[in-house]
Structure 1
């Protein structure tokens, strides 16, 4: 497969510019880059989900099929995503031949042939899964292999694996790599996308780096030392470090005290956040950082461990109870979790403090309007007034409304999850300034973010990897150090 000079724009946003990739037969080729580097966009162009605005994609020296010819694309390439695309309630055999079941006499599906052909294709690629098994009952690694075999049965020999190890433990990862090597020997080619760089060195022969929607380099893995790979991904740091400030006193009281917190997404988490301290949580998409932060806001119930806020046990699995306990939260997705789009800015900003604005179920309109106006001014929300529908706002101003609501309850713990995602530079600075103000007011702040600029404002950053805290970086860290920890690179 060869992509040359491919570009993709969505309105004014450049998602990919000068994308280049050449994958040779029978190799495992890694595609790496930080979030927003352009990896996902490139995959949509390589799998025929969208056409590039510029540039060319070729398979075996021939131009890529027409966009609407799905069968032709299936014969060329397939992508196994982090989230499964199999139908869980169907059997393995039914998933392998979905929409192309063998037909017997009278035009009815021949279930006997379906099962025998499924067994044959599984045996051909040495995948030991029962064709009659319900796909929902399979382990994640076996579901992934069913998806790979389904792609191979169409004739594709080029498979894109998008974060295939995110939901696997170490033993399962090693089994996946063993199967990948065996398939390579049979002539299958892989494009391997992962945030875990040590995996690139274990299973890939070549690596391509994207940064800021551009191709940066392609090199044999064996000739690219890990520090050089991290540097290619990080680039030169152009962001200035936050202004020097007084560090949190060592004797500042601990507001959030977490011991042994465990769930499906994270394991044995111990952490503390002091009054007036900002602690960052960093990690790749499958690290468990978001689930951990959401647990403090009442969105999940851990299976073990405790968390205390100002000495009192934090309630889990109940957003209202967490709010009452003193937790304010900016959720990860402002559209789905943060805003009620049919309501006004004022209603959205004050919905968490309605009891404070009235009694016996009656809310003073003037009090509510005054409180909302004060929040609008504090957050510098550009609006015609509290009555304006929140759906009219730009992304940056909409996110400020979510931040306003989180701050409205004067929380003791402020949980921020990707607080500046998808906002312009000016709004980003405004949102981060509010975080600094909360810190100065003595609030404990926990920040989860993929943006290094967000994490730069923290007093320290904890890095999660496969659900565990593996590193802690005090303020003043360098980009390459933090990225190396996030990607699981062991310099020792």
Structure 2
């Protein structure tokens, strides 16, 4: 009897002349929580599609319970017990929880009509098995992200899953929701179900996983018990680099005048008398639970909210931005948390995405100065270290880290001196994350940009900020700096708010 539920031996997969996977071997044991890590493009998605039957490998062998499978297709993979939960969950938003959970079972049974009592009973039973309470008659589109994820897990259990693959399952979850998900994952393990946890968040890898496999450039570069790894070791395996983890400590004179100074800023229903000061070269952090008002604060500073303030000064001058255009003119820039829906034109080129905020400056009469536009884009393309064939590449073809650098480049072209970053590295792999942090630090230290960094990632804040505010119910309720600015202290402050 094989020790592995599924084993992949010497798997290779090519697309054209590119080796997406190059002689990769890995195995997952029954009831094991196994983490698969790697940067974007390392081969994680390809190996998932191989083990779920979507891709047929060019070379290699796939075994279930020690027995080789001659050809694995999606239907065979499902019958073998493989279920993949992608980031979009693949649920029907306009159907109820019960309908989503019963649908696959009914299709497999060849039923043409819904047996409502049975569907609700099935849904309640599987949710009870997960020890969660969700209204089985609620439409899925009305559920929070964590609720949708639970429905997707429940659906996998109803399909008699033996291995559940979770692709970046915590990207859109709060800290409390991550804890709840981990409890469910451990419960799945207790039921003998294996979980392949695909993530680039190292703290989560270390907390939830028993074993780790790391891919880089289509090859397996590390594997072993999670107890044999720490954050630097995982980072080195993923990137091949020794990344700088020194905290940000700018040399700013105490009497340096603020680049941005706001007193008693309020937004009805979300921000309540917040006062904030940012000096050139500072990176000031803001953390808080979902609903704390942090995003509304960022949007108010950028002229997107109906805000009031006792005073609002930019470089010592009274100036209150009542619109985005006024904020840009005052030298304020804002990078939103959801860059895909709020920040980027995915079908357009890197060049067009970068210059869209400075088109008025590039006009020569009725026409754009194409040479100036091209030069500015190429300079920023280089300084942002964007990995793409050229500035003509469509932004939708970029990785998350490169797309975020396009956003940063766009606003730096405006000459902004106050940069507001909301979730600057959400959905970004370790290597790109480190490069983005390096860029932000250089902007603050070398260019004198004042940065407001809003993030759920406490290590990101403590590693890059010289001061951190904790926000709750629209107010700043704690501030950390110097020796007091530790991960434990901030996490304790956040836990006290739950």
TM-score interval for Structure 1 and Structure 2 normalised by the shorter chain = 0.5 to 0.7
Q: Which residue of 2 aligns with 1:101?
A: 106
RMSD, aligned α-carbons: 6.1
**1:57 partnered with 2:57:** no
Residue 320 of structure 1 deviates from its aligned partner by 3.1
Report matched runs for 1:379-390 at 5 Å.
379=380
Which residue of 254, 274, 277 maps to 2:279? Answer: 274
Q: Which residue of 1 aligns with 2:90?
A: 85
- C-alpha deviations, 1:1-31, integer Å up to 9, x for none? 2233434555566555454432211222233
Does the CA-based 8 Å contact 1:379-1:434 persist in structure 2? no
- Worse overlay, 105-114 or 26-35: 105-114
Report matched runs for 1:196-207 at 5 Å.
199-200=204-205, 203-204=208-209, 206-207=210-211
Residue 147 of structure 1 deviates from its aligned partner by 1.7
Does the CA-based 8 Å contact 1:79-1:161 persist in structure 2? yes
Q: Which residue of 1 aligns with 2:325?
A: 320
Q: Which residue of 1 aligns with 2:157?
A: 152
Which residue of 209, 214, 227 maps to 1:210? Answer: 214
C-alpha distance in 1 between matches for 2:297 and 2:43: 27
- C-alpha deviations, 1:133-178, integer Å up to 9, x for none? 3334445544333222211222221112334445555555444444
**1:187 partnered with 2:188:** no
Which residue of 29, 35, 49 maps to 1:44? Answer: 49
- C-alpha deviations, 1:251-294, integer Å up to 9, x for none? 3322245899999999999976432x2649899xx9x9x97997
Please give the secondary structure, in 2, of the residue aligned with 1:48: coil
* Residue 13 to residue 335, structure 1, CA distance change in 2 (3 Å): farther
Please give the secondary structure, in 2, of the residue aligned with 1:89: coil
Residue 397 of structure 1 deviates from its aligned partner by 12
Does the CA-based 8 Å contact 1:8-1:54 persist in structure 2? yes
C-alpha distance in 1 between matches for 2:149 and 2:381: 47
Residue 116 of structure 1 deviates from its aligned partner by 4.1
Residue 81 of structure 1 deviates from its aligned partner by 3.7
TM-score (norm 2): 0.63
- C-alpha deviations, 1:442-481, integer Å up to 9, x for none? 44356899xxxx99x97869799x9x9999899xxxxxx9
Does the CA-based 8 Å contact 1:297-1:328 persist in structure 2? no
C-alpha distance in 2 between matches for 1:4 and 1:83: 29
Please give the secondary structure, in 2, of the residue aligned with 1:98: helix
- Worse overlay, 17-26 or 231-240: 231-240
- C-alpha deviations, 1:178-220, integer Å up to 9, x for none? 443443333222223455555556544x22141534331211x
Q: Which residue of 1 aligns with 2:495?
A: none
TM-score (norm 1): 0.64
**1:352 partnered with 2:357:** yes
Q: Which residue of 2 aligns with 1:477?
A: none
**1:30 partnered with 2:30:** no
Q: Which residue of 2 aligns with 1:229?
A: 230
C-alpha distance in 2 between matches for 1:397 and 1:179: 33
C-alpha distance in 2 between matches for 1:105 and 1:79: 23
Does the CA-based 8 Å contact 1:158-1:188 persist in structure 2? yes
- C-alpha deviations, 1:90-113, integer Å up to 9, x for none? 112210122553799995443344
* Residue 178 to residue 197, structure 1, CA distance change in 2 (3 Å): same
Does the CA-based 8 Å contact 2:469-2:479 persist in structure 1? yes
- Number of aligned positions between the proteins: 450
* Residue 3 to residue 352, structure 1, CA distance change in 2 (3 Å): same
C-alpha distance in 2 between matches for 1:196 and 1:232: 14
Q: Which residue of 2 aligns with 1:372?
A: 373
C-alpha distance in 2 between matches for 1:418 and 1:174: 21
C-alpha distance in 2 between matches for 1:35 and 1:281: 27
C-alpha distance in 1 between matches for 2:203 and 2:407: 37
Q: Which residue of 1 aligns with 2:259?
A: 255
Does the CA-based 8 Å contact 1:56-1:63 persist in structure 2? yes
* Residue 240 to residue 15, structure 1, CA distance change in 2 (3 Å): farther
C-alpha distance in 2 between matches for 1:45 and 1:297: 47
Residue 326 of structure 1 deviates from its aligned partner by 1.7
C-alpha distance in 2 between matches for 1:118 and 1:8: 39
- C-alpha deviations, 1:45-92, integer Å up to 9, x for none? 333333445443332223457454436436421123444332232112
Please give the secondary structure, in 1, of the residue aligned with 2:149: helix
Does the CA-based 8 Å contact 1:74-1:151 persist in structure 2? no
C-alpha distance in 2 between matches for 1:433 and 1:178: 37
C-alpha distance in 2 between matches for 1:463 and 1:145: 32
- Worse overlay, 88-97 or 326-335: 326-335
Residue 233 of structure 1 deviates from its aligned partner by 0.7
Does the CA-based 8 Å contact 1:89-1:135 persist in structure 2? yes
* Residue 14 to residue 297, structure 1, CA distance change in 2 (3 Å): farther
* Residue 16 to residue 485, structure 1, CA distance change in 2 (3 Å): farther
Does the CA-based 8 Å contact 1:279-1:460 persist in structure 2? yes
